[in-house]
């Protein structure tokens, strides 16, 4: 029973952690510039709908990743067999957080080491040793909005798009007492509650979108006759885009949980020295099941201004996006006196409106000859990241450098090079990141092809 429970807890923990993997960039050109996004670098996921109206420039129009990391992974990878003596669950977690598509140049030391527990009748001390590294100082937050796959087709200034949309978020917060006991090996004491709260939400929908992107303002420059690219011809241009969307909700679920254990006068006296409390309220709806499908609307809007080879962009994705559901609400409570869970249905068919958080991207760039200097700020659910980078072209050779502030609020550094061969270029980048369960700095080598 407990064995299964342990596996469930582990799977849950790692499933919740998977959201961090979205920070992995497979475009070596963008990665070498610190992950910055501009209208011609790395905007293949549509961070600004107005970019669609900007003429294709010399800076590239697409990227094909080269997953060299798979070779490294096949040569040396952690075991997934929990019976194996070398099984390390934190290494497995890092594979999920950091899919082996790039070559790992260095990684944080693996979480290892002996764990010590001291138990006396009125004393309990847990020294997690190296495992302390995976317990954050603050709450553990994972999640994001993912537009997975889909397709789009442009008809002049109009485009149609359809894509699955997944939004997941989870925030686990340990009480100060519990965090101190686990992180700092502070002994557990009597008459103290050691608790945690968890807020989890997941929703999935299919987005059907019709968009329109166009040039709203234009003042020609003298150089435009030689170069139609507004990024580099010195013209003043304003491009706007808007794409309302219909959201067909497939499933929604959330859970608000509070749990804890309150110690008695003496930690291990009597037959029942701790009082356990657990209370969870869930809300759900699913197509083909309780509540059926949901429906909603939303939009992506954006603008980008070019002035004297300076670019300023603002993109809002999922602006005002919300889905209406008919939900079932249940409460699951644990009664310490009877040692049993009870589930009660609080509501059935209750109307509920879920929101998709807005992702805001503000980017700036300046082109000077064949040099690009750029920066951006991306604000989404739970996290704000910042990127800055530069690209210098010398003939067919490009050198790149950049830095960023990642979702763990750590500074990361990047550099790379590329060589262009006609319509195709090959790019390499080395960049640091903290996409691991230890939230410590590692480095990776990424390779990709650029399409010009």
Partner 1 sequence: MRRLIPIALLLPLLVGCGNRNLILTVDILSFLDPSSRVVNYNIPIPIPSDTVEVFSDSLNLLQGVSDVTRAVSASLDVAASFDNTSGTATGDLLIYFAAANSATPFTNTPIADIPFQLLAGQVTNVSTHVDASPALAEVLTHDRAKVGLRIIINGTSYPIQGTETLTKLTATVIMKKDL
Q: For partner 1, which is the closer residue by CB, 45 or 121?
A: 121
Q: Are 427 and 448 in contact (CB under 8 A)?
A: yes
Question: Which H or E element spans position 368?
Answer: strand 359-368
Q: What's the burial of 39, exposed, middle or buried (CB within 10 Å: 0-12/13-18/19+)?
A: buried
- When binding is defined by CB under 8 A, the residue of 64, 71, 105, 115 that contacts partner 1 is 115
C-alpha–C-alpha distance, residues 391 and 406, integer Å: 20
Tell me the CA distances in angstroms from 332 to 275, 322, 329, 342, one per residue in order: 17, 27, 10, 6
- Residue 227 half-sphere exposure, CB side, CA atoms within 13 Å? 16
CB under 8 Å to 81, separation ≥6 — which residues?
Answer: 87
In the complex, what is the shortest distance from the CB of residue 187 to partner 1, in angstroms, rounded to a whole number?
A: 12
Residue 2 binding partner 1, by CB under 8 A = yes
Take residue 227 and report the two structure tokens written for it: 């170069």
User: Strand pairing of 274-286 and 310-335?
Assistant: antiparallel
Residue 14 binding partner 1, by CB under 8 A = no
In the complex, what is the shortest distance from the CB of residue 451 to partner 1, in angstroms, rounded to a whole number?
A: 43
Site residues for partner 1, window 132-191 (CB under 8 A)? 134, 182
Question: Which H or E element spans position 8?
Answer: helix 2-17
- When binding is defined by CB under 8 A, the residue of 146, 214, 268, 419 that contacts partner 1 is 268
In the complex, what is the shortest distance from the CB of residue 111 to partner 1, in angstroms, rounded to a whole number?
A: 5
Q: For partner 1, which is the closer residue by CB, 12 or 210?
A: 12
In the complex, what is the shortest distance from the CB of residue 124 to partner 1, in angstroms, rounded to a whole number?
A: 8
In the complex, what is the shortest distance from the CB of residue 270 to partner 1, in angstroms, rounded to a whole number?
A: 8
Site residues for partner 1, window 335-394 (CB under 8 A)? 339
Q: For partner 1, which is the closer residue by CB, 90 or 306?
A: 90
In the complex, what is the shortest distance from the CB of residue 333 to partner 1, in angstroms, rounded to a whole number?
A: 16
In the complex, what is the shortest distance from the CB of residue 182 to partner 1, in angstroms, rounded to a whole number?
A: 8
CB under 8 Å to 381, separation ≥6 — which residues?
Answer: 143, 144, 145, 167, 169, 357, 359
- When binding is defined by CB under 8 A, the residue of 86, 226, 337, 344 that contacts partner 1 is 86
C-alpha of 103 from chain center: 20
Site residues for partner 1, window 56-85 (CB under 8 A)? 82-83, 85
Residue 111 binding partner 1, by CB under 8 A = yes
Take residue 293 and report the two structure tokens written for it: 């499908």
Residue 272 binding partner 1, by CB under 8 A = yes
Q: For partner 1, which is the closer residue by CB, 48 or 170?
A: 170
In the complex, what is the shortest distance from the CB of residue 342 to partner 1, in angstroms, rounded to a whole number?
A: 17
Q: Are 167 and 202 in contact (CB under 8 A)?
A: yes
In the complex, what is the shortest distance from the CB of residue 438 to partner 1, in angstroms, rounded to a whole number?
A: 12
In the complex, what is the shortest distance from the CB of residue 18 to partner 1, in angstroms, rounded to a whole number?
A: 17
Q: For partner 1, which is the closer residue by CB, 177 or 379?
A: 177
Q: For partner 1, which is the closer residue by CB, 126 or 410?
A: 126
C-alpha–C-alpha distance, residues 65 and 104, integer Å: 16
Q: What's the burial of 343, exposed, middle or buried (CB within 10 Å: 0-12/13-18/19+)?
A: exposed
In the complex, what is the shortest distance from the CB of residue 194 to partner 1, in angstroms, rounded to a whole number?
A: 6
- When binding is defined by CB under 8 A, the residue of 24, 72, 130, 212 that contacts partner 1 is 130
CB under 8 Å to 261, separation ≥6 — which residues?
Answer: 193, 194, 195, 274, 275, 276, 277
Nearest one of 231, 251, 263, 253 to 374, comparing CA atoms: 231
At 91, give phi and psi (nearest 5°).
-65, -40
Q: For partner 1, which is the closer residue by CB, 264 or 292?
A: 264
Q: For partner 1, which is the closer residue by CB, 90 or 239?
A: 90
Q: For partner 1, which is the closer residue by CB, 76 or 345?
A: 76
CB under 8 Å to 298, separation ≥6 — which residues?
Answer: 207, 244, 245, 247, 318, 319, 320, 321, 322, 356
C-alpha–C-alpha distance, residues 337 and 334, integer Å: 9
Take residue 376 and report the two structure tokens written for it: 């951006």
Site residues for partner 1, window 19-58 (CB under 8 A)? none
Q: For partner 1, which is the closer residue by CB, 80 or 218?
A: 80
Neighbours of 149 (CB within 10 A): 8
Residue 273 binding partner 1, by CB under 8 A = yes
First to last CA, the chain: 58
Which region, judged by CB under 8 A, interacts with partner 1, from 5-13, 63-71, 341-349, 404-412?
Answer: 5-13
Q: For partner 1, which is the closer residue by CB, 101 or 261?
A: 261
Q: For partner 1, which is the closer residue by CB, 2 or 148?
A: 2
In the complex, what is the shortest distance from the CB of residue 70 to partner 1, in angstroms, rounded to a whole number?
A: 24
Instruction: Point out which residues bind partner 1 (CB under 8 A).
Output: 1-3, 5-7, 9-10, 13, 82-83, 85-91, 110-124, 126, 128, 130-131, 134, 182, 194, 261, 268, 271-274, 276, 339
């Amino acid at each position: 029973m407990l064995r299964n429970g342990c596996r469930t807890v582990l799977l849950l923990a790692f499933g919740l952690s998977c959201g961090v993997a979205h920070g992995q960039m497979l475009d070596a050109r963008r990665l070498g510039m610190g992950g910055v996004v501009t209208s011609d670098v790395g905007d293949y996921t549509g961070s600004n709908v107005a970019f669609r109206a900007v003429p294709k420039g010399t800076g590239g129009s697409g990227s094909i990743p080269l997953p060299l990391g798979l070779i490294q992974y096949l040569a040396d990878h952690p075991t997934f067999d929990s019976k194996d003596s070398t099984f390390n669950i934190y290494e497995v977690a890092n594979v999920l957080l950091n899919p082996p598509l790039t070559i790992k140049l260095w990684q944080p030391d693996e979480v290892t080491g002996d764990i010590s527990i001291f138990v006396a009748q009125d004393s309990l001390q847990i020294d997690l040793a190296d495992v302390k590294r995976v317990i954050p100082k603050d709450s553990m937050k994972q999640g994001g909005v993912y537009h997975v796959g889909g397709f789009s087709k442009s008809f002049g200034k109009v485009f149609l798009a359809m894509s699955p949309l997944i939004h997941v978020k989870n925030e686990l917060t340990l009480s100060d007492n519990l965090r101190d006991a686990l992180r700092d090996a502070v002994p557990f004491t009597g008459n103290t509650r050691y608790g945690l709260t968890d807020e989890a939400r997941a929703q999935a929908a299919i987005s059907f979108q019709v968009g329109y992107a166009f040039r709203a303002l234009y003042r020609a420059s003298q150089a435009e006759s030689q170069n139609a690219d507004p990024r580099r011809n010195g013209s003043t241009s304003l491009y706007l885009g808007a794409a309302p969307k219909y959201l067909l909700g497939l499933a929604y679920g959330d859970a608000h949980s509070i749990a804890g254990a309150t110690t008695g006068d003496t930690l291990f006296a009597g037959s029942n020295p701790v009082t356990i409390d657990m209370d969870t309220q869930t809300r759900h709806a699913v197509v083909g099941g309780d509540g059926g499908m949901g429906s909603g609307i939303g939009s992506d809007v954006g603008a980008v201004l070019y002035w004297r080879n300076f670019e300023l962009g603002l993109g809002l994705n999922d602006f005002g996006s919300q889905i209406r559901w008919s939900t079932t609400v249940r409460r699951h409570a644990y009664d310490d006196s009877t040692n049993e869970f009870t589930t009660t249905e609080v509501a059935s068919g209750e109307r509920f409106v879920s929101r998709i958080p807005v992702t805001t991207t503000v980017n700036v760039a300046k082109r000077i000859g064949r040099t690009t200097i750029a920066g951006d700020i991306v604000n989404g659910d739970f996290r704000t990241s910042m990127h800055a980078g530069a690209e210098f072209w010398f003939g067919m050779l490009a050198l790149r450098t950049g830095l960023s502030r990642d979702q763990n609020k750590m500074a990361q550094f990047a550099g790379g090079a590329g060589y262009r061969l006609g319509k195709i270029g090959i790019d390499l980048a080395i960049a640091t990141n903290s996409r691991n369960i230890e939230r410590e700095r590692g480095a990776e080598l990424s390779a990709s092809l650029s399409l010009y």
